[in-house]
Amino acid sequence: MTKLIKSENTAIGAHEAAGRERTSIAAQLSDWGESTEDDNVSDISDKLGVLLAEIGEQEDGFAQNLEDYRGILKQIRNMEASVQPSREQRQKVTDEIAKLKYKDPSSQRLVTLEHELVRAEAQNLVAEAQLSNITRQKLKQAYDIHLAAVIERAEKQTILARHARRLLNYIDDSPVVPGDARQAYDHEPLARQILEDAENDLRQWEPSVQPITTAAGRDSPAHTNGVNGIDDASERQSDVLEHDSVAEGFTEPVGSGALPAKMVVVEPAPAPA
């Protein structure tokens, strides 16, 4: 379990790093689009950057949920460590009895050691029962959080990716011959609406997982309102999707004359360290 916990720590760091890289790449896309001085490319690449940055932010939220899962695994590890002394004591007395029976089968100390073995076995029996109970309970709880977090991340990233693909329909890729002018870009309001649709869909997102039952007959409360039990629609606004532009905080498509939109997308609160 100790090795597993350490490996998960490495994996969590990788998710956090991937999220940061995705956010950085989204900003680079927005900057590049602006540098093209093409109204169409600039507007769509900027809005793509907003959605792609939020996809990256989902990795950070996923990592926070994995920290919760990892924290529960630590409880199993700690319980295993607490049981080890009773195992060692039982084995120590057992070994002493075996050695003494070999060297001096008639030794009076055998009686004392056998009494000690009875006590050691009784103590170990209690400890092993506690370990078994805790292991099953916490393993169930930990992977409930882990797997629900996987589903939450996938569903939210799918929402964002579907809306991002809609933006691609507003890139006019009709070929032009040298000397011809392209039609003026006039889809900025429609592209802006896609960002609003993404905001609304994330706000309305609800967990789709089936609750995990416990021995007490209760459903697991871990995912009634998102992985951390928090109402995703009312707690924390995303710093990335708060603006219509991933690079500047707002988009000003060349010649559009439109006011920048302001998206408010809610994210789950950070998990405790």
CATH number for the domain that contains residue 17: 1.20.1270.60
Does residue 175 form part of some domain?
no
Overall number of domains in the chain: 1
Burial of 32 (0-12, 13-18, 19+ CB in 10 A): middle
Mean of pLDDT over the chain: 83
Side chain identity at residue 200, one-letter code: N
- The one-character DSSP state at 139 is H
Does residue 129 form part of some domain?
yes
What confidence tens digit (pLDDT) does each residue in 188-228 have?
999 999 999 999 999 999 988 888 888 766 666 555 445 65
Write down the residue that tokens 């070929």 correspond to.
Answer: 175
Q: How far apart are CA 84 and CA 270, in angstroms?
A: 35
Residue range of the domain that includes 113: 2-170+186-267
Does residue 272 form part of some domain?
no
Does residue 119 form part of some domain?
yes
Does residue 177 form part of some domain?
no
Q: Residue 236 is inside which H or E element, if any?
A: strand 236-237
Does residue 178 form part of some domain?
no
What confidence tens digit (pLDDT) does each residue in 19-35 have?
999 999 999 999 999 99
